[in-house]
Amino acid sequence: MSLRQSLARTLAMARKEGLHIVRDRRSLLMALAMPVLMLLLFGYALTLDVDRVPTLILDNDKSPQSRQLIERFSGSRYFRVVGSVADYGPIVRMINRNECVLAVVIPRDYSRNLLASKEANVQVIVDGSDSNTASIALNYAEALVRAYSFEVQAQALNRKGGGRLDPPIDAQLRVWYNSQLQSRNYIVPGLIAVIIMIIAAMLTSLTVAREWENGTMEQLLSTPVRAHEIVLGKMAAYFALGLTNTIVAIGVGVFLFGVPLHGNPLLLLLSSCIFLVGALFWGIFLSAATRTQSQAYQLGMVTSFLPAFLLSGFVFAIENMPVVIQAVTYVFPSRYFITILKGIFLKGVGVGVLWMELGLLVLYALVLFWAATRKLKQKIA
């Protein structure tokens, strides 16, 4: 068997699959539209930014200092003052009805203690139903109250001629790579990885199982085509469709959502192609391991969407997971691809930093090609 003959059979298999893709216009349209719809839906709906927190004010002091503190809350982009109340009753009712998340209670002696350089307490009541939002909003409120209290005490001390009041710690923050702290800038690159994994696994998870269900596998086996040529040919046909989806997803992320692309676009495209090939081989492996399209589709969804969404670092930080789950995440390639995407998009790093992740993606694709070919040989036998 010459290499030229093997290549000719592989191309013939790719052409056969390509004709099937083109003729099934409904599936083709769905495959092209679904990545854009998923990116738009998740990109706009999924956000981890905590800002414009609905806030109630209970001012028992009614002093110029308390009014200035309220103005600080009103002028902050992290809070949205929805009203003022006279007692605790409305606070309880509005929190129970999800009409506010946070309430600021200023005591009667707030201004007197503040101007006397004493401890001036402010009560912050927060709805802890969403622990992440509650903790972040509470930190914002504490920082705002502390900064304002220090400013007023420093001015009062200066007017008395008592010298300058310096803060115990002068913290100067510098945020790298995502200076505006917009969650969209790291959610959208992660979404690209999730979408590629889902679409690729769904596209190819049905291809071999469909041959068995339609009775065309027996006809295919009567030809001289080999198992590895079937796998490569089917992968090549769907690779063109998957690459189109990838380019569209990257374009939507950069031009519609405004995610900065600081790295090399060619490296981004190369790494996406490597990840796409591995995901396509995974779908073919699942399709070869099952006899029906429904089983292949269900396995494809479970093994592509859930790991890519939950165990890749896309939404939940891997370092915060239990040690056993952290070890499991090393099995899934989406973990490495999301690291590559964030490194290229936000940090602008290259192969010198991402070589290990790229190598693991190549190894993943080779292993799955071998596994898919072996499984198909077993089914043929």
pLDDT at 359: 94
Q: What type of residue is 349?
A: V
User: What single string gives the DSSP state of each residue in 187-203?
Assistant: HHHHHHHHHHHHHHHHH
Residue 199 near residue 34, CB atoms below 8 Å: yes
Tokens 């000719």, residue located: 8
Distance CA 176, CA 72 (A): 27
Average pLDDT of every residue of the chain: 82
Q: State the CB neighbour count (10 A cutoff) for residue 161.
A: 6
Closest CA to 304 of 163, 183, 201, 229: 201
Q: What angle do CA 203, 204, 205 make, to 5 degrees?
A: 100
**Helix/strand/coil percent split, the chain, to 5:** 70, 5, 25
Pairing of strands 102-106, 123-126: antiparallel
Question: Reduced to 3 states, what is the DSSP secondary structure of residue 117?
Answer: coil
Q: Is the dihedral of CA 61, 63, 69, 72 positive or negative?
A: positive
> Quick one: pLDDT at residue 357?
92
CATH number belonging to the domain at 53-159, selected among 3.40.1710.10, 3.90.870.10, 3.20.20.70, 1.10.1660.10: 3.40.1710.10
Contacts of 79 (CB under 8 A, 6+ apart): 52, 53, 55, 73, 102, 140, 141, 144
Tokens of 312: 């890749």
DSSP letter assigned to residue 77: T
Mean pLDDT, residues 65-72 taken together: 88
What is residue 209's predicted lDDT score, i.e. its pLDDT?
A: 67
Q: How confident is the model at residue 271 (pLDDT cuts 50, 70, 90)?
A: very high
**Residue 380 pLDDT > 70, yes or no?**
no
pLDDT digits (tens, 9 = 90+) for 327-377: 999 988 999 999 999 899 988 888 989 999 999 999 999 999 999 888 877
- pLDDT, tens digit (0-9, with 9 covering 90-100), for 177-218: 776 667 778 788 888 888 888 877 777 777 766 766 666 666
Question: Considering the entire predicted model, what is its pTM?
Answer: 0.77
* pLDDT for the residue numbered 337: 92
Of the listed ranges 12-16, 220-224, 246-250, 265-269, the one predicted with least confidence: 220-224
The number of C-alpha atoms within 13 Å of 151 and in the hemisphere containing its C-beta is: 10
Residue type, 135: S
Stretch 18-25: mean pLDDT: 77
Asked whether 111 and 63 are in contact (CB, 8 A), the reply is yes
CA distances from 149 to 102, 104, 107 (A): 19, 15, 14
pLDDT at 306: 80
Residues 227/380, Cβ–Cβ less than 8 Å: yes
Separation CA 197–CA 304 (nearest Å)? 6
Structural tokens at position 284: 């073919």
Burial of 306 (0-12, 13-18, 19+ CB in 10 A): exposed
- What are the start and end residues of each CATH 3.40.1710.10 domain in the chain? 53-159
Distance between CA 168 and CA 8 in Å, rounded? 75
- Output the pLDDT for position 344: 92
pLDDT in tens, 209-238: 676 666 666 666 667 778 788 888 888 888
Which pLDDT score, from 0 to 100, does residue 358 have?
94
Orientation of helix 265-289 relative to helix 207-214, angle to 10°: 30
Residue count (the chain): 381
